[in-house]
Amino acid sequence: MELAKRIDHTILRADATQTDIADLCDEAMQFGFAAVSINPAWVSFCAKRLNGSGIHVNSTIGFPLGANTAAVKVAEARDAVKNGATELDMVINIGALKSGYADFVEREIAAVVKSAEGVPVKVILETSLLTTDEKILVCEMASRAGAAFVKTSTGFGRAGATTDDVALMRQVVGPKLGVKAAGGIRTYADAIAMITAGADRIGTSSGVAILKEMPAE
């Protein structure tokens, strides 16, 4: 296992500057991370800086609350892809799900997947706000709607990823979809625990520190 290839190197802070984002890209190239994960305003900049590197440009969609309209999420996805995004992390409409509108949530996921035109979509559940049954339901809907991954958390919710949630999500989606763990993953031990539980990807702003903690081979 090459740990760096499982990490989405992340900056989603509102006060991130162009220098911060440039450093993020440069670190991703230096350490060989799978992707940089950034807000949509930085997609074009990252796509240009990472051109030819093989590192994905991962844009958030409907972030962090998921409370945008479906039409806005679709437009945001199209814009991100046009600007060079090669992966998308979209937040579901949590309030709609909890109001009993699961069909709407599934249609919204499918609409974003369609608008992405083949760019992989990761569906963020925000697991700290969901019941076990809701987590299972969203994983099933994401699979039916054509998503590439399910993801635990935004990192802005009540709590981040847990190994129990990762294991549950893996059990539900099986080998068909990827599972991304994000939120509160700051150490090498955290990352390994999530991967052991079933995560394919780790979203973290601590990727460099995690790699530096790796035991020498």
Q: Which residues are catalytic?
A: 89, 151, 180
How far apart are the C-alpha atoms of 15 and 18, rounded to whole Å?
10
Bridge partners of residue 182, in order along the sequence: 203
Tokens of 70: 């479906």
Residue 15: how many CB atoms within 10 A of its CB? Answer: 6
Q: What is d(CA 200, CA 175) in angstroms, rounded to the nearest whole number? A: 10
| SS3 category, 42 | helix
Specify the amino acid at residue 185.
I
Instruction: Give Cα 113 distance to the centre of its chain.
Output: 14
